[in-house]
């Protein structure tokens, strides 16, 4: 378990692949409008897909949900999606960057790319979450978060539509908590609302 106090986290990064629409809809519905942490999401998409899922998910979420824009400053309480066919990275100052560099783990956007860049921007005050998916993208990025003192969470594979991705993360030995979507939502809600209450 991370040694960070629960009200000190600065950001959440989420990786998800197959089965993501249903899973993210459930997760986002659990987060209140006063959720204060920025959340960055890589959802694997077909390279020819012309839009991400942000518009669809915005309808089921009390938060601002949008596609990330290059050089955009990260704002509290916003959910940023990697656009189709772009890697999403975080720069040290906390702004976003988009890249068309080569695929990583056969994917662009890649979860590992996001997680590893977020480590340098926010660790140890970083929460990494791996959800349903059918490959192993994100496992090494989650390990990096763990090694730099962040908190690492995997969806319980028994509850995942596609368990391979959370299983790959768990197999690294770097996962702090294995939880259902409901429990992940409850934990993130605690992290993201307690900070405003404590001030």
Active site residue 52: no
Max CA pair span of the chain: 45
| 121 φ, ψ (degrees, to nearest 5) | -85, -35
Catalytic residue among 2, 67, 117, 137: 137
DSSP readout, 116-165?
Answer: HHHHHHHTTSEEEEE-S-SS-TTHHHHHHHHHTT-EEEEE-GGG-SS-HH
**Is-catalytic flag, 7?**
no
- The single residue of 17, 54, 117, 195 carrying the catalytic annotation is 17
d(CA 135, CA 2): 26
Judge whether 137 counts as a catalytic residue.
yes
The active-site residue out of 2, 36, 44, 54 is 44
User: Could you tell me the two tokens for 89?
Assistant: 């990275």
d(CA 19, CA 179): 17
The residues assigned a catalytic role are 17, 44, 137
């Amino acid at each position: 378990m991370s040694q960070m106090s629960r009200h000190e986290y600065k950001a959440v990064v989420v990786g998800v692949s197959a089965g993501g629409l249903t899973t993210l809809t459930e997760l986002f519905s659990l987060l209140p409008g006063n959720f204060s942490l920025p959340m960055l999401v890589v959802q694997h998409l077909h390279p020819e897909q012309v839009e991400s899922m942000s518009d669809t998910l915005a309808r089921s979420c009390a938060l601002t949900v949008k596609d990330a824009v290059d050089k955009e400053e990260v704002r509290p309480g916003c959910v940023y999606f990697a656009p189709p066919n772009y890697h999403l990275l975080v720069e040290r100052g906390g702004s976003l960057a988009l890249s068309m560099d080569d695929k990583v783990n056969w994917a662009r956007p890649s979860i590992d790319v996001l997680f590893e860049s977020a480590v340098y921007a926010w660790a140890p005050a970083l929460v990494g979450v791996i959800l349903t998916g059918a490959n192993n993208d994100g496992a090494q990025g989650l390990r990096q978060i763990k090694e730099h003192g962040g908190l690492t969470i995997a969806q319980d594979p028994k509850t995942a539509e596609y368990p391979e991705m959370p299983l790959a993360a768990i197999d690294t030995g770097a996962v702090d908590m294995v939880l259902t979507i409901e429990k992940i939502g409850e934990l993130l809600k605690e992290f993201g609302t307690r900070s405003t209450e404590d001030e």
